[in-house]
Structure 1
Amino acid sequence: MPISPKKLLLSKWTALTPINREKHFLVSRVIIPEDGSPMTHVDLQAVHSQRTETIAWRDLEDAAVWVIGWK
């Protein structure tokens, strides 16, 4: 299923392999470059610890790593 970059903000994601014993994440920020080029990264916030990590938004398209929604 294609992901729309415009709908990423506040979307929920489940990591199929837990990261630091965390598997539920929320897109807390969409990072838009100042030069007006297309968005390439997002901030993922772990629901349990509130830890934030920046990743390329296209990484979320890897169905072997991420599933949309909280499972």
Structure 2
Amino acid sequence: WSSSAGSAPGFRRAAGRRGEEARSPVRYRELPMAYEPPVMCHCSPPRKAPRWISWSRQNPGRRYYSCVDAMVSVVFFA
């Protein structure tokens, strides 16, 4: 491949920064591989609820649990 910036294809630099890589606006508050017991959803049958990160203006960066099948109605914050 050929690139005028000398970087891999698909790599983008953040606008307005000088040579810094784009990073997530949400910093880790805990270690990425830290173990936590599973949180079960309230569906029938109960399943493990995945942990999500809110990108809303009301709760930026807040982590919450929500079942994939019930994302609209069942949300419980961590």
Q: TM-score, normalised by structure 2?
A: 0.31
Q: Which has the higher strand share?
A: 1
Q: What TM-score results when the alignment is normalised by the length of structure 1?
A: 0.32
More helix as a share of residues: 1
